Copies of this chain bind each other. A is one copy, B any other.
Amino acid sequence: MNYKIKSRIWIELDDKEFLGEGKVRLLKAIEKTGSLSKAAKSINISYKRAWQLLDAVNKSSNRPVTINSVGGKGGGGTELTPFGKSLIEVFDDMNKQCWKFLDVQIEKIKAL
C-alpha cells in the first residue's frame, strides 16, 4: 500500500486569500518572463485573469509585489519587487517544510 499525504496551503489577509498556488505560479512566471502578458501565456491563463490576480495581490498587500517598467525594447514590462521575490521564496519554503513535516506524519497512518 503506497500511502502519500498531500497538502495545499494558502495565505489569508483579513480573512481573504492573499496568496495561493495560482498567484504564486503567476508571480514566478512574471519573474521568469519580465512581462505580465508573456507570464499569462506561459501558464495558460488569459491576460485579463492574470491582471486581476496581480491586481488583487498588489491591492491587498501593504507593499507592492510588482513594478511596471515603462518603455525600452518591446515596450514596458512587469517585474517583481524585492518584497515580491521574498514572498514567493517564503511560500515555497513553507510548502516544502509542510510536505517534509507531513511525510513524517504519514508514518502514523502506515503504523495503524
Contacts and interface: CB of A to CB of B under 8 A. Distances in A.
Interface of A: 1-15, 18, 62, 83, 86-87, 90, 93-94, 97-98, 101-102, 105-106, 108-109, 112
Given A11-B6, A12-B3, A108 B94 contact: yes
Q: How many copies does the complex hold?
A: 2
Nearest to A60: B1
A18 to B, nearest CB: 7
Interface of A is mostly: mixed
Nearest to A8: B8
B83 A112 contact: yes
Contacts of A4: 11-13, 15
A5 to B, nearest CB: 5
A87 B102 contact: no
Given A3-B11, A83-B112, A90-B108, 13 more contacts: A1-B14, A1-B62, A2-B15, A4-B15, A5-B94, A6-B12, A7-B7, A9-B102, A11-B109, A87-B109, A97-B101, A97-B105, A98-B101
